[in-house]
Chain A
Amino acid sequence: MSIRRVIPHEPTRPLWRCRNCGVGWPCQSARLSLLSEYRGDRVALGVYLATQLDEAQATLAALNSGTPPADLADRFLGWLRAR
């Protein structure tokens, strides 16, 4: 019997893709776990995601000759609604 290591849905730096699924972080699983982790505290979740967005913009801009991808803010914060 082989033991599979559980790979968390966390961002890989500096590419900001999910370590488990390989899509742009936050993937759907990461969003779900973040929502349950910050249950009832959307402001703290928003502040956390905004700091991550800031860091992602900085690192991805460094990789892409100074311009970060255009849809980053939507990817990080667009899915978050007040309710």
Chain B
Amino acid sequence: MRLRFWRCKPAPPSLPRRARGAHLPGRPVRADPPASGPGSRPRRQPHAGSAVARERWPRLSAFANISVYIDHSPNPPPAWTCHVCGTDWPCAKWRTANPGPAERKLLLPVISGLLPGAIRDLRGRVDGPQPPEIVKRFLFFLPLSDDEALAIARRMR
């Protein structure tokens, strides 16, 4: 038997342990690729924003809106519409969620990873948004001026 020298002691009960195979208490269960249109995904389990999950995952309580971020995710590119509301993503739920400092830190790498693909998909449509407008739309939680949005759009495309 190989010696697993990196095996560490089991975490103390205060640390959140997840069940085997369950990454988040409310991880999205998606059996097959969704058809377009709102409400086409299967109903999800109680999400990480629920009281039980908050108790089991103490650090998650810093992210009050995490259930919105997980549930109202965009349809697969190139649509970039919310799969629940059907409107342009980020939808009104995201925009009114008003992320705090911890959530901004959480969202910034996630959304900036999406930006190059979004700019590639959305620019050049008839009457579609220009790249700086796309940047402002996706990074809605940052107070960006026009010049800053343009600079970000140039780096991201």
Contacts and interface: CB of A to CB of B under 8 A. Distances in A.
Most A CB within 10 A of own CB, among B7, B17, B110, B115: B110
Interface string A55-83: 10010000000000000010001001111
Contacts of B63: 51
A12 interface: yes
Most B CB within 10 A of own CB, among A39, A51, A55: A51
Interface SS, B side: loop
Interface string B107-129: 10110011111100000000000
Contacts of B73: 41, 43-44
Contacts, number: 97
B110 A40 contact: no
Question: For this complex, into which size category does the number of interface residues on chain A fall?
Answer: 20 to 34
Nearest to A2: B1
Nearest to A82: B117
A83 B117 contact: yes
Contacts of A10: 18, 20
